[in-house]
């Protein structure tokens, strides 16, 4: 799942089926495949993997795609992104000789040069070899403002759960006897050098049904974690809890965030020894920056005389708000096709990252002094048809920011901007890593079943013949407020577009392309609207004769895997091939598997008969039929995915095979977590399997060497 809270629950219940009867969960004949590491299940996985690799890897298409992907994924011409810590700029970098990567640093002056001089801080490949572990980088939490000590997070094989170990950036070594958290889905937040807030698995009652911490402990250096006092405990039925210490000089404060479910939360401020709840909507997103409180609304809100719309960004003096003032400034007002994608704060400025019909617009606003007004100015030099990512370089001490610009066929550029002048300096520009000669990006719209206009983008040659025989790949997601924005994908570019495929991205409801209402229009009982939108786009591609069913493939992962799983069961006549990655598929048990319990605010509760009545309509595992004809489908997942359980894909494949469906392939990587791969070698291998499957099934048989793989 792309935005980031994941959870697990373990118990058995009786669920109401559509015909009014009940059936015990144990009646599922494929339940044994949910036992992730059992010898029986792994033997089944090994057998399926062997069949898929034997079918796909011998072809020259597979070999060509794999080598091409390795060349771009390991290219030294990729742009290293930066994170400023103290006086240095840090980057995690992987390459062919260092698949796990190095955490390294340089100066900004050196980074500006043609050949930056990097200093290795931590070599993960050397560490993995020494400790006989398959470590995957999960980042570091730095003690501010000292910027010497940090907690490094390392995952075994790419799982969400990780190990956290204290590291000394000056000595470039782990701290002997320092803070240490064993493997868990935990959080660590510095208070000072010897104190931290810790949220982790600390025994019975410390985890929610989602499998995430609900207890905040204040841990002192040198004391056992189990003796650390609890400073806040959420309800056992909540999703999670976290805490932070804001170390901004002059604005030091402590906060607790109680996550009731995926979309609702409460914020508490520590004042005079007590946790005081902030009087803000429980579905909003809030940030505190120096003396400012910012609130991004997901629903309409009237805190006083004025009513503010969903999608608006509000600002107010934090201390004035605590004193009862509700006279907010509305610094962004949404439009019908305009929403706030993100905003960033520097020391004295607010940078708005807005989307106008899925196209980026940026504005810089001055944080006013008391009694002042908000003054806006554009960022100069912005190119057209690109997506921008903005991040503050150092929000405590400067007004500089990093900016990353890219588009479907526009290679990334990386720069550093100055909010005061409203300009930015180009630091790095990536070369084209796949051939875009003669390509253009065109945006279309189509009317969905309920009349809503759904935009989608097509990447294709400018002179594309409209004869219905163009091999086309359609991608969608449609969930969790994740917007699908133009991006430069080396994998899609090298494995699909460069080889002559047409590529399409659909901005279906359930995402956040047009603000929170676009998401809320397709959750729970309205989830079907995401699927209707996707079908409308597919039918429009055929209507325009860009492609036709035999040449139209679809791809989706995670919630997008649920999307394409529903395309399999709802419209098998519409597609020529389906690629379904790390998917949810069994929607009767999703909330009992790993992180699934946290997603009930998105999908609904299967144990509630009224909600199961609509959930079962989009549960592919329950809707696949033995007497239906389905297009070729390839399922991929990871044994180490501790977010979306691999049992979803395993059980679906086993069921389809037993029903007698041909053309069903499966591959499960042993590492990789929810990303599906732990390094570039694994990523290139799995992606080559996936794309060689698509080329084999969608190309005319006479032109496809690998077309026999599914015979």
Catalytic residue flag (residue 467): no
Do you know the residue count of the chain? 711
Strands 265-271 and 253-259: antiparallel
Query: Which of 186, 210, 265, 558 does the annotation list as catalytic?
Result: 558
Which residue in this structure is represented by tokens 């993960």? Answer: 124
As a three-state string, the secondary structure of 49-70 is HHHHHHHHCCCHHHHHHHHHHH
* C-beta separation of 358 from 486 below 8 A: yes
Which residue in this structure is represented by tokens 């180009």? Answer: 426
d(CA 269, CA 253): 7
Q: At what angle do helices 680-698 and 39-56 cross, to 10 degrees?
A: 60
* C-beta separation of 298 from 516 below 8 A: yes
d(CA 476, CA 483): 10
What is the DSSP code (8-state) at residue 29?
A: T
Residue 635's alpha-carbon distances to 581, 585, 632, in angstroms, are 6, 11, 10
* C-beta separation of 340 from 353 below 8 A: yes
Query: Which of 289, 645, 648, 674 does the annotation list as catalytic?
Result: 674
* C-beta separation of 189 from 243 below 8 A: yes
**Of 206, 81, 178, 55, the residue nearest 139 (C-alpha):** 81
d(CA 559, CA 149): 37
Catalytic residue flag (residue 558): yes
171 Cβ contact partners less than 8 Å away, ≥ 6 residues apart: none
d(CA 15, CA 501): 44
389 Cβ contact partners less than 8 Å away, ≥ 6 residues apart: 342, 353, 403, 404, 405
* C-beta separation of 321 from 293 below 8 A: yes
d(CA 611, CA 607): 8
- Per DSSP, the residues of 542-565 read HHTTS--GGGEEEEEETHHHHHHH
Structure tokens at 512: 């956040």
What is the DSSP code (8-state) at residue 511?
A: B
602 Cβ contact partners less than 8 Å away, ≥ 6 residues apart: 262, 263, 479, 480, 523, 524, 559
**Of 171, 216, 198, 187, the residue nearest 5 (C-alpha):** 187
569 Cβ contact partners less than 8 Å away, ≥ 6 residues apart: 620, 623, 624, 625, 628
What is the DSSP code (8-state) at residue 599?
A: G
d(CA 284, CA 264): 8
* C-beta separation of 510 from 522 below 8 A: yes
70 Cβ contact partners less than 8 Å away, ≥ 6 residues apart: 96, 680, 681, 684
**Of 706, 694, 685, the residue nearest 66 (C-alpha):** 685
What is the enclosing helix (H) or strand (E) of 409?
none
Structure tokens at 199: 């949220």
* C-beta separation of 408 from 421 below 8 A: no
Structure tokens at 331: 């610094």
130: left (phi over 0), alpha (psi -120 to 50) or beta: alpha
**Which residues have a catalytic role annotated?**
558, 674
């Amino acid at each position: 799942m792309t935005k980031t809270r994941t959870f697990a629950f373990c118990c058995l219940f009786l669920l109401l089926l559509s015909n009014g009867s009940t059936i015990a969960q144990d009646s599922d004949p494929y339940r044994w495949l949910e036992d992730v590491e059992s010898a029986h299940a792994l033997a089944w996985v090994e057998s399926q993997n062997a069949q898929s690799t034997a079918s796909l890897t011998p072809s020259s298409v597979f070999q060509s795609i794999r080598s091409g992907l390795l060349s771009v994924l390991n290219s030294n011409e990729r742009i290293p992104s930066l994170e400023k810590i103290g006086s240095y700029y840090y980057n995690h970098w992987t390459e062919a000789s260092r698949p796990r990567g190095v955490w390294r640093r340089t100066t900004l002056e050196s980074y500006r040069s043609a050949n930056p001089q990097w200093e290795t801080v931590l070599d993960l490949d050397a560490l993995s070899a020494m400790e006989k572990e398959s470590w995957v980088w999960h980042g570091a939490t730095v003690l501010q403002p000292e910027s010497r000590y940090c907690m490094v997070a390392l995952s075994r094989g790419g799982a969400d759960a990780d190990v956290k170990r204290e590291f000394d950036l000056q000595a470039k070594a782990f701290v002997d006897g320092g803070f240490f958290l064993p493997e868990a889905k935990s959080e660590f937040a510095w208070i000072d050098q010897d104190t931290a807030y810790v949220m982790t698995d600390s025994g019975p009652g410390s985890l929610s049904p989602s499998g995430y911490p609900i207890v905040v402990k204040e841990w002192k250096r040198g004391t056992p974690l189990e003796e650390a006092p609890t400073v806040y405990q959420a309800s056992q039925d909540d999703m999670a809890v976290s805490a932070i210490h804001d170390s901004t000089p002059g604005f030091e404060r402590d906060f607790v965030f109680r996550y009731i479910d995926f979309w609702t939360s409460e914020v508490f401020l520590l004042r005079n020894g007590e946790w005081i709840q902030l009087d803000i909507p429980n579905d909003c997103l809030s940030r505190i920056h120096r003396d400012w409180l910012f609130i991004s609304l997901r629903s309409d809100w009237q805190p006083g005389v004025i009513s503010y719309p969903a999608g608006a960004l509000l600002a107010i003096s934090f201390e004035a708000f605590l004193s009862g003032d509700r006279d907010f400034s509305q610094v962004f007002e949404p439009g019908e096709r305009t929403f706030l994608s993100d905003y960033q704060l520097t020391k004295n400025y607010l940078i708005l990252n807005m989307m106008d019909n899925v196209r980026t617009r940026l504005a810089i606003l001055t944080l006013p002094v008391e009694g002042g007004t908000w003054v806006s100015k554009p960022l100069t030099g912005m190119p057209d048809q690109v997506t921008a990512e903005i991040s503050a370089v150092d929000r405590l001490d400067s007004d500089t920011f990093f900016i990353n610009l890219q588009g479907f066929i526009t290679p990334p550029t990386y720069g550093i901007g100055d909010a005061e002048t409203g300009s930015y300096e180009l630091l790095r520009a990536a070369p084209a890593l796949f051939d875009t000669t003669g390509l253009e990006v065109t945006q279309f719209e189509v009317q969905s079943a309920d009349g809503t206009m759904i935009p989608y983008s097509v990447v294709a040659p400018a002179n594309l013949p409209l004869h219905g025989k163009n091999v086309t790949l359609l991608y969608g997601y449609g969930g969790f407020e994740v917007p699908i924005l133009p991006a430069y994908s080396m994998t899609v570019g090298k494995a699909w577009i460069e080889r002559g495929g047409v590529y399409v991205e659909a901005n279906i409801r359930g995402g956040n392309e047009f603000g929170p209402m676009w998401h809320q229009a397709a959750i729970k009982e309205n989830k079907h609207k995401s699927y209707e939108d996707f079908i409308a786009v597919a039918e429009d591609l055929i209507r325009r004769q860009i492609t036709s069913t035999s040449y139209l493939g679809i791809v989706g992962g995670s919630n997008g895997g649920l999307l394409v799983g529903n395309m399999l069961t709802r419209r098998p006549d519409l597609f020529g091939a389906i690629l379904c990655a790390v998917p949810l598929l069994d929607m009767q048990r999703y909330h009992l598997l790993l992180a699934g319990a946290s997603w009930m605010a998105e999908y609904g509760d299967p144990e509630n008969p009224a909600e199961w009545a609509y959930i079962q309509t989009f549960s592919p595992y329950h809707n696949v039929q033995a007497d239906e004809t389905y297009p070729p489908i390839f399922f991929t997942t990871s044994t180490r995915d501790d977010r979306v359980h691999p049992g979803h894909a395993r059980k679906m494949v086993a069921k389809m095979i037993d029903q007698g469906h041909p053309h069903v392939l499966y591959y499960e990587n042993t590492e990789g977590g929810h990303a599906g791969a732990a390094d570039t070698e694994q990523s290139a291998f799995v992606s080559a399997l996936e794309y060689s499957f698509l080329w084999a099934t969608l190309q005319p048989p006479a032109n496809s060497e690998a077309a026999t793989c599914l015979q």
